[in-house]
Structure 1
């Protein structure tokens, strides 16, 4: 949309890059931040404060497209016996605490009536978990969902027209999911980006604080 200002955090990842490109294609002015390109470490409070504190809003749309499935060189646990304290702490730092540090800046950076989305995952749903496993990833995304929900409540006290939601993009063709190809229907990053933007563009303020999939359907907590 011409004149739209957007901020994409995690813009060097598969989904983040696709979101930034899709926004630019529709005429938005996009600010990109990522660890790979900018040294932006969302797990470091100082890095978050410096990078986001230097930005001048407001942004009409803010998207947080960060996250890891497991620490580098490891995979998700398949059993309780495989839980490792350091690995679990790392997932919480990246998947829940990092986005929480980012959301602290939302009231200052988001335009009045603006929209913000944080990438979560369906496996973070407690109600939808019927097979277990992936304990650290599931728990970190469930924690993220709670942070987003609480932040949306606080945001609404200052701006009833603002929207903040958790989004499940589906299984997207990225390096993040390469090891799990074939188990689920996978979509290219560009398609996932279009889906997610269509969802967030179509939300109403009453839906702020919710958890939605790439079709716009509510995901159980």
Structure 2
């Protein structure tokens, strides 16, 4: 009998993260799914499956990350997949900047705390659970607008820069993981424009065929993840499996 498999989905309270939970449970990919959320979500808590373990965590608080990982370590010594779906573009108090005159230092720092630093802290604390010989994935949702080489339109300073920083963090994590967790493939993923709260205010100019349901997005991303090889660690992939420029 093979060892039980376990996955950690970070930011599973809604949107893409919640759908990853559903897909992992539906597909019998793993025996246990650990799902973190910042605020209670009736959709997540309402998933009736004994394999699901819900844990509250704010990715901007390192002590909370450490506490959640310690909790998981009391139940398993290994994780086979870690997928970080946390991301911030706008909320009740902030909107993406259209020009330099809209820049605000506190807002910029908040973008980096949520979109960049949190993923690096997660990689730091989850590392012991990825030091095994079986193929494992550490994937983080990024965004094509975080590609410096692809930036032709400007604007969205904080979101673009924090996603670019995320990509650099994960590229650097991949290099260290080659030594410490050699069976783990580290990637960042562009999910495409997905019908979630994050993109909803900005969907007006998106062609219908380019606006994905969360179900379609996660299926596409799982296809990409399933096809990854060890040599792909440290790369930036789009939803269709193509590599994106840095």
CA-CA distance at 1:142 after TM superposition: 0.3
Matched, 1:181 2:203: yes
CA-CA distance at 1:203 after TM superposition: 0.4
TM-score normalised by structure 1 residue count: 0.95
Trace 1:1-221 onto structure 2 (pairs within 5 A): 3-27=4-28, 28=30, 29-37=32-40, 38-56=55-73, 57-110=77-130, 111-112=132-133, 113-184=135-206, 185-221=210-246
CA-CA distance at 1:71 after TM superposition: 4.5
Equivalent residues, number: 220
For 1:46 and 1:6, the matched residues in 2 are separated by: 21
Moved more, 68-77 or 14-23: 68-77
For 1:49 and 1:4, the matched residues in 2 are separated by: 21
SS of the equivalent of 1:163 reads: strand
Structure 2: runs of 5 or more not aligned: 41-54
Question: Would you say the 8 A contact 2:65–2:125 is kept in 1?
Answer: no
Inter-CA distance 150–75: structure 2 relative to 1 (3 Å threshold): same
Moved more, 69-78 or 21-30: 69-78
For 2:193 and 2:86, the matched residues in 1 are separated by: 15
Inter-CA distance 103–175: structure 2 relative to 1 (3 Å threshold): same
CA deviation string 1:84-132 (max 9, x = no partner): 1111010000000111110102321224321110000000000000010
Moved more, 70-79 or 40-49: 70-79
For 1:208 and 1:128, the matched residues in 2 are separated by: 21
SS of the equivalent of 1:72 reads: coil
Q: Which protein has greater RCO, CA pairs closer than 8 Å, 6+ apart?
A: 1
For 2:202 and 2:91, the matched residues in 1 are separated by: 16
Question: Would you say the 8 A contact 1:119–1:168 is kept in 2?
Answer: yes
Structure 1: runs of 5 or more not aligned: none
SS of the equivalent of 1:18 reads: helix
Larger Rg: 2
